[in-house]
Structure 1
Amino acid sequence: MSRRAALRGLGAAGLLAALTGCGVPAAYVAEGKRSAPDRSAREKSVSFSNWPMYIDTDEADAARRPTLESFSKRTGIAVRYTEEINDNDEFFGKVSPALMNRQETGHDVVVVSDWMAARFVGLGWAQKMDRAAQPNVAKYLDPLLRSPSFDAGRMHTVPWQSGITGIAYNRRKLGREIRSVADLWRPDLAGKVTLFSGLDESFALLMQGDGVDTTRWTETDFDRVCDRIERMVRSKHIRRFTGNDYTSDLSKGDVLACQAYSGDAIQLKADNPDIEFVVPEEGAELWAESMVVPNLARHKANAEALIDHYYDPEIAAELAAYVNYVCPVPAAQAVLADSDDKETAELAEDPLIFPDAGMRKRLVVARDIGPEERPRLARRWNGIVGL
């Protein structure tokens, strides 16, 4: 088994338990012991690690990133930007030994999915931010994202971009609309449905299809959904489980309906107008990938300034126009609407970037999976995926 496979199979709780059994000190770091002397005043730099293709670039020069350049021009702070995060668990495996042993990681800001951010917060590996130094975050952060169960008040995490896990389908080839999760299980979709393979990416939407309040779901709710999915796998109704490669299956027509991300749906529909994305009647999961300042970051104040920069509605609009995910700054909608460029102005009306009032009522930030329950739930889900 590869190290990456071991990390995925054990999860954070299992990995840390294994390491502790080998004599590694307890992993949790108390709030008062997370900071290091801040070098921000004398070192005008900040290290920012993100996912690939997740920031605006200049059309004429892909090496230039206009929103980062505007931050440096305004503040005099140089940004060392790297696209080194390709997988949450892989990145966790990279930085966890240092964080566990109270050592620097070399990162000032990192972007991870909220379920991974929950691990950082739960382990005490994310520093509390000074919201007084972040007036834009305090004022403009979307109310739907302000207080997830794992980080009340969002004091340790701030969303970079958000998104919706819903259903994408080929309206013309299917010959009907999909309005609910239950529609995925109708006979005409046998062998033409895919689901996400990742536990954290899959479970909330499937539970919502069963009418579960995903802000307070239980293990009983989870097992009931797993029973249904297992039956669907054994009957060959579900074609396979996927990562981001679901987009290829849908584009080629190998599947007619699948779990999908709203950000991908915009591009899919641009390439094929028959592709539709739906937020089911029962609701869908609103998720985020969030910025975290790891323990012992050398430039915490500079990191907080960079994070706040992206909550200026003008900057948020510029980023949203490029990446096309759900913007965590609703005030950016008015900025885009005022654009002289017609295509840019039309983005302000796209509900997959700025969900309308009706859609917002159906979006929920799900309760995260706790470290105590994760090992059993992961075994159950991975067993189904491997059938």
Structure 2
Amino acid sequence: MIKKTLQRFYLIFIVVLLYAPIITLMALSFNSSKSRAKWGGFTTQWYTQLFQDDQIMTALYTTLEIALLSALIATLLGTAGAIGIHAFRRKYRTLMMGITNIPMLNADIVTGISLMLLFIAFRFSLGFSTILVAHITFNIPYVILSVMPRLKQTNINTYEAALDLGASPFYAFFKVVFPDILPGVSSGFLLAFTMSLDDFVITHFTKGPGVDTLSTKIYSEVRKGIRPEIYALSTIMFLSVLLLLVLVNIAPDEKEDRKKILSAATVRRHKISRFLFRKVVPAVMIVIVTVSGIFYSLKSDRMDGDNQVIVYNWGEYLDPDAIEMFEEETGINVVYEEFETNEIMYPKIQSGAIAYDVVCPSDYMIERMIENDLLAEINFDNIPNIKNIGDVYMEQSRQFDPNNKYSVPYLWGTVGILYNKKMVDEPIDSWSVLWDEKYKDSILMQDSVRDAFGVALKYLGYSLNSTDLDELTAAQKLLIEQKPLVQAYVVDQVRDKMIGNEAAIGVIYSGEAIYTQLENPDLEYVIPKEGSNIWIDSLVIPKNAKHKENAEAFINFICRPEIAKMNFDYITYSIPNDAGRKLIEEPALRNSKIAFPDTKELERCETFKFLGDENDAIYNEMWREVKSK
């Protein structure tokens, strides 16, 4: 009795452990509140928005297209390869199988980086075609592995007999050999299709702008904070797989039917079921993939050529409606990519693998890009709306763009502390609170090398542009001491965590602070008394941009007052557009001390500067040591 009870308890425990997260996710997909921390009522709006989200639906179509094409091509090549390997003598066959198995044993990240470097070396533009080639490459070994056992079971004498009876090699193969290896070929195709659907790492390294599969799209969304639409998408994916498994398991087994004496009605029902599984379901899958392929091809054709501009921006940093307005007004298609930090963005621009047209780096990174000759001079004759940018911001830009030739100020702000007034004991005015042990596991730090070191350096009374090794070592030691107190190193996720009362204190950008206060009135933002960082993110044009005039048209559009105001309403980051600021309707926001702090507060702040590649390497190495402790 006790044994059975323990067995049942163990079974229930395992089931709960496996499915509780999925059930939670499914429940959140029907939550009208965007916050995970509170239930706002039942809704299906996220499912509606999911199917209206062009980016996610395009990612779905791309995933199906690549999976089907790569599986088909890999199956053809893999089957041919398996037949060729099978024809070798034993020792050569063993050698070839060993070589074939290496890609399966190799780490995906190594394969992904290797393929990316290969494409760059041969000057292939990263995009749909490079993903397809990559998927075919890693799928072929799986097909060979599936087909080889079947080939070993075939009798070569039957094939030779068919030839002796006058059959052509082609006819003999498809009539004698292929039926025997068909189960292996089918297994190889399904395995390749599944591997392609599931792949993230290799796709991540070989994709280009405007091309996303579901895995890369979900990853990019999760980095910015999980949107409710992702809950809905995950729920649909789970239910689809569950339904498929149920259908497969209830499908009648033909071999079992032969062993039983069945009624005519049962036989007829089983025939219908087999017809559905063998004919209808595959046909439906082919139709879905074909339609998605046509849709993707039409979309790709529309976006090819000179009639586009490829934009590389921070996550959640531009109102999507502004993009639609630009496309409608100009007829220029916007391919929009997002990055998380300057350090992630820079290597992509430096490699030249992707020719972005407009990029939005921060001040110090612009200085670095200018120094390394990565930026093109902007023709300001094509940007008359530059007149709307305040003189003070143009002057501040001279700190990293001395002649204002390469950049146009886009957004600006400060870095400070956001704290929950109900979760802290007293008002905060110093960075020292980030080292207060009573807030252990309730502190959020920025997952950015310059921001993290900037906080520590300012707390110690040093410049956040310090290159003094002793000062940097002291800052590193301070960050290592702080690490046990930190709940998480985050970027955009600090916003959702603070809104949901998941942490008491967080280092945050001022624009995010305004948004969080609108969602949670218990939150307060402060620029610490030791000083902080004042930053400007600007729009630049890389030197290898292929659509420079389109890029300048896009920048000019962004500088329009009504667009600047629209953008402020959407992301609540401070705008350098003086004419746009006057259009902000709410006085509380137009005169916000967070968005537009007093000059006295800004005097305590510094702008990040490019410290040189050698010092950058020192910072990055020290940051890696902090994160690895």
Letter in 1 for 2:351: P
SS where residue 409 of structure 2 aligns?
A: strand
Structure 1 runs not aligned, ≥5 long: 8-18, 25-42, 58-64, 100-104
* 1:315, distance to aligned residue in structure 2 (A): 2.9
How far apart in 2 are the matches of 1:90 and 1:214? Answer: 21
User: Which residue of structure 1 lines up, in the alignment, with residue 351 of structure 2?
Assistant: 97
How far apart in 2 are the matches of 1:128 and 1:313? Answer: 24
Asked if the contact 2:386–2:556 (Cα under 8 Å) also holds between the matched residues in 1, the reply is yes
Q: Deviations over 1:261-317 (max 9, x none)?
A: 222222222222111111112222122332221113233234223323322333322
Q: Deviations over 1:343-385 (max 9, x none)?
A: x454212233333334333332122342111222211121112
Alignment of 1:84 with 2:347, yes or no, is no
Alignment of 1:325 with 2:573, yes or no, is yes
Report which of the two structures shows the higher radius of gyration computed on alpha carbons. 2
What does 1:242-321 correspond to in 2, within 5 Å?
Answer: 242-321=490-569
* 1:70, distance to aligned residue in structure 2 (A): 5.8
User: Which residue of structure 2 lines up, in the alignment, with residue 16 of structure 1?
Assistant: none
Alignment of 1:383 with 2:625, yes or no, is yes
Letter in 2 for 1:85: E
How far apart in 2 are the matches of 1:231 and 1:91? Answer: 29
What does 1:228-247 correspond to in 2, within 5 Å?
Answer: 228-233=478-483, 236-247=484-495
Distance 1:181 1:125, change over 3 A: same
Distance 1:293 1:365, change over 3 A: same
User: Which is helix-richer, 1 or 2?
Assistant: 2
Asked if the contact 2:445–2:488 (Cα under 8 Å) also holds between the matched residues in 1, the reply is yes
Asked if the contact 1:165–1:259 (Cα under 8 Å) also holds between the matched residues in 2, the reply is yes
Alignment of 1:130 with 2:379, yes or no, is yes
User: Which residue of structure 1 lines up, in the alignment, with residue 318 of structure 2?
Assistant: 55
Distance 1:215 1:52, change over 3 A: closer
* 1:149, distance to aligned residue in structure 2 (A): 4.4
Asked if the contact 2:363–2:536 (Cα under 8 Å) also holds between the matched residues in 1, the reply is yes
With structure 1 as the length reference, what TM-score do the two structures score? 0.73
What does 1:126-205 correspond to in 2, within 5 Å?
Answer: 126-137=375-386, 140-141=389-390, 143-144=392-393, 146-147=396-397, 149-205=399-455
User: Which residue of structure 2 lines up, in the alignment, with residue 206 of structure 1?
Assistant: 456
Distance 1:195 1:52, change over 3 A: closer
Q: CA RMSD in A?
A: 3.5
Letter in 2 for 1:48: V
How far apart in 1 are the matches of 2:309 and 2:500? Answer: 43
Q: How many residues align?
A: 334
User: Which is strand-richer, 1 or 2?
Assistant: 1
Distance 1:211 1:71, change over 3 A: farther
Distance 1:215 1:205, change over 3 A: same
How far apart in 1 are the matches of 2:345 and 2:108? Answer: 15
Distance 1:91 1:281, change over 3 A: closer
Asked if the contact 1:286–1:365 (Cα under 8 Å) also holds between the matched residues in 2, the reply is yes
| Percent identity between the two aligned chains | 23
What does 1:206-225 correspond to in 2, within 5 Å?
Answer: 206-214=456-464, 218-225=468-475
Structure 2 runs not aligned, ≥5 long: 1-106, 123-305
Q: Deviations over 1:189-212 (max 9, x none)?
A: 344323223202322233222222
SS where residue 84 of structure 1 aligns?
A: strand
Asked if the contact 1:249–1:255 (Cα under 8 Å) also holds between the matched residues in 2, the reply is yes
Range moving further from structure 2, 280-289 or 211-220: 211-220
With structure 2 as the length reference, what TM-score do the two structures score? 0.47
